[in-house]
Amino acid sequence: MVKIIKVGMADLQSSVHPCIITTLGLGSCVGVTLYDPVRKVAGLAHIMLPSSQQARNNSNIAKFADTAIVKLVNDMVALGADKSRLVAKIAGGAQMFSFADGTSEMLRIGARNVSAAKEVLSSLRIPIVSEDTGGSYGRTIEIHSEDGRLKIKTIGHGTKEI
């Protein structure tokens, strides 16, 4: 029996096979999935903001790229994953609203979330093997513990697996 694990906004979860971990409604948020292909440990973080350093209320570590990814790695290692085998797939980071002017960098949350996630993963030496980021549309994603595939569902842009 495959466990279906739902991850809310500013939340993260990890589990061992058999499971599917899913999150709905990634707009400017970024879904970061990690997978250990040997132990079949999967994890997903639904990240809202790039950095806990720029927030007054930063008590929810799952909300920020700089803290959520580190926590997800630690949780997965506790479940038996080997950090050196982890691979990442990321999705989301859309620009959900268009701005008439040259758009202040602060308002480009999606792009900043993607950039922050990539920086953290790079600093942890976790390779990004695939991504589906940017655009102007939302995504629902699910990572499958069987093989680490990431299913991405969109409205108007179909469904794909990476």
The enclosing domain of 9 has a CATH number of 3.30.1330.200
Can you tell me the distance from the alpha carbon of 141 to that of 32, in angstroms, rounded to the nearest whole number?
10
Q: How far apart are CA 152 and CA 79, in angstroms?
A: 25
Does residue 50 have a cis bond before it (omega within 30 degrees)? no
Range(s) of the domain holding residue 40: 3-161
Mean pLDDT of the chain: 94
> Which of 5, 7, 12, 29 is an active site residue?
29
> What percentage of the chain has pLDDT greater than the value 90?
86
**Residue 103, pLDDT above cutoff 80:** no
* Side chain identity, residue 12: L
In angstroms, the CA 137 to CA 122 distance is: 26
| Cβ contact 129:142 at 8 Å | no
Verify whether residue 29 is a known catalytic residue: yes
Which tens digits make up the pLDDT trace of 44-90? 999 999 999 987 788 999 999 999 999 999 999 999 999 999 999 99
